[in-house]
């Protein structure tokens, strides 16, 4: 090595290039296998751009999050509006007078979520029928309530619907939730 110059023969250079080419090919083959394993674990078919798919999924998640926020807002508005609507009923049928048969009289309580509403009472006799309306505020009325009216309010609170005091038969109100 005169003068510090390193001379490489063409055979040595060719050997180094072959080693580099084999190493590069092995690295590419190995990376291809890793990409295929990642794609398989993510469920994507060969040839799919995983980064583009990830961005598309992130956009979709953002859209769904915005839609959920909109639906939650609408639900809150509906729940607030529904709180003031008549939601539950309690109906009690009874015989108001001894000389009438069956249970033609009734007390009907119609209430909202705060037990505000009205009680309609119909007293049916042989020759006449009388109807009374009494307001309900938080489940109470400023007017004296009969036992049947109190039972109707209790049934409305419990969401039990209607019953007949004579027959004891009844049923649940449908369509309302407590």
Residues 63 and 113 in one domain: no
Residues 67 and 23 in one domain: no
Asked if pLDDT for residue 162 goes beyond 70, the answer is: no
Rg, Å, the chain Cα set: 41
| Residue 129 is assigned to a structural domain of this protein | yes
Last residue of a domain, one of 57, 83, 109: 83
Residues 108 and 148 in one domain: yes
CA dihedral 143, 149, 154, 157 (to 10 degrees): -70
The count of domains in the chain is 3
Residues 95 and 108 in one domain: yes
Quick one: how far is CA 28 from the chain centroid?
Answer: 50
pLDDT tens sequence across 120-137? 999 888 888 899 999 999
How much is the mean pLDDT over the chain? Answer: 81
pLDDT tens sequence across 22-71? 999 999 898 888 877 777 776 666 666 777 888 899 999 999 999 999 99
Give the global pTM: 0.53
CB 146 within 8 A of CB 168: no
Residues 105 and 79 in one domain: no
- Does residue 145 or residue 99 have the better pLDDT? 145
Which residues partner with 57 through β-bridges? Answer: none
| Residue 76 is assigned to a structural domain of this protein | yes
- Does residue 97 or residue 136 have the better pLDDT? 136
| Residue 149 is assigned to a structural domain of this protein | yes
Q: Give me the residue label for tokens 């007390």.
A: 107
**Rounded Cα gap, residues 88 and 110, in angstroms:** 6
Quick one: how far is CA 97 from the chain centroid?
Answer: 48
| Residue 69 is assigned to a structural domain of this protein | yes
| Residue 175 is assigned to a structural domain of this protein | no
CB 170 within 8 A of CB 164: yes
Residues 92 and 117 in one domain: yes
Residues 94 and 165 in one domain: yes
Residues 41 and 56 in one domain: no
Residues 161 and 99 in one domain: yes
| Residue 117 is assigned to a structural domain of this protein | yes
| Residue 78 is assigned to a structural domain of this protein | yes
Asked if pLDDT for residue 2 goes beyond 80, the answer is: no
Residues 132 and 165 in one domain: yes
DSSP label at 45?
Answer: P
Q: Which residue range(s) make up the domain with 24?
A: 10-46
Residue 12: count of CB within 10 angstroms of its CB: 10
């Amino acid at each position: 090595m005169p003068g510090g110059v390193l001379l490489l023969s063409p055979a040595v250079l060719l050997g180094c290039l072959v080693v580099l080419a084999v190493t590069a090919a092995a690295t590419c083959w190995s990376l291809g296998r890793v990409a295929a394993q990642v794609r398989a674990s993510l469920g994507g078919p060969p040839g799919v751009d995983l980064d583009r798919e990830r961005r598309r999924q992130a956009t979709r998640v953002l859209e769904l999050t915005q839609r959920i926020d909109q639906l939650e807002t609408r639900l809150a508005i509906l729940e607030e509006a529904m709180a003031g609507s008549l939601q539950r009923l309690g109906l009690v049928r009874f015989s108001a007078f001894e000389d009438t048969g069956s249970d033609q009289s009734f007390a009907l309580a119609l209430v909202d979520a705060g037990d505000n509403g009205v009680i309609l009472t119909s007293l049916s006799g042989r020759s006449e029928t009388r109807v009374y309306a009494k307001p309900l505020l938080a489940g109470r009325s400023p007017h004296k309530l009969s036992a049947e009216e109190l039972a109707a309010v209790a049934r409305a609170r419990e969401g039990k619907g209607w019953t007949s005091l004579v027959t004891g038969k009844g049923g649940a109100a449908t369509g309302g939730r407590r």
